[in-house]
Amino acid sequence: MVLFLRPNMANILLQVFITILYVIAAQLVIRLEGTSVFV
């Protein structure tokens, strides 16, 4: 695996990783606050 030889690939993987963490954090906050946010 030579993913780090291409800076563009590394940036894309980093953005995807940050996006996944953001989605997980958002879901945890929604679960803590309750489902009244979508109503």
Q: How far apart are the first and last CA of the chain?
A: 46
Question: Does residue 2 belong to any structural domain of this protein?
Answer: no
pLDDT for position 11: 85
pLDDT for position 23: 94
Question: Does residue 16 belong to any structural domain of this protein?
Answer: yes
Count the alpha carbons within 13 Å of 35 in the hemisphere toward its beta carbon.
0
pLDDT in tens, 1-39: 555 567 787 788 889 999 999 999 999 988 887 766 555
For the question of whether the overall pTM of this predicted structure is more than 0.75, the answer is no
Q: Which stretch of DSSP H or E encloses residue 37? A: none
State which residues form the domain around 16.
7-37
In the chain, the number of structural domains is 1
Question: Does residue 18 belong to any structural domain of this protein?
Answer: yes
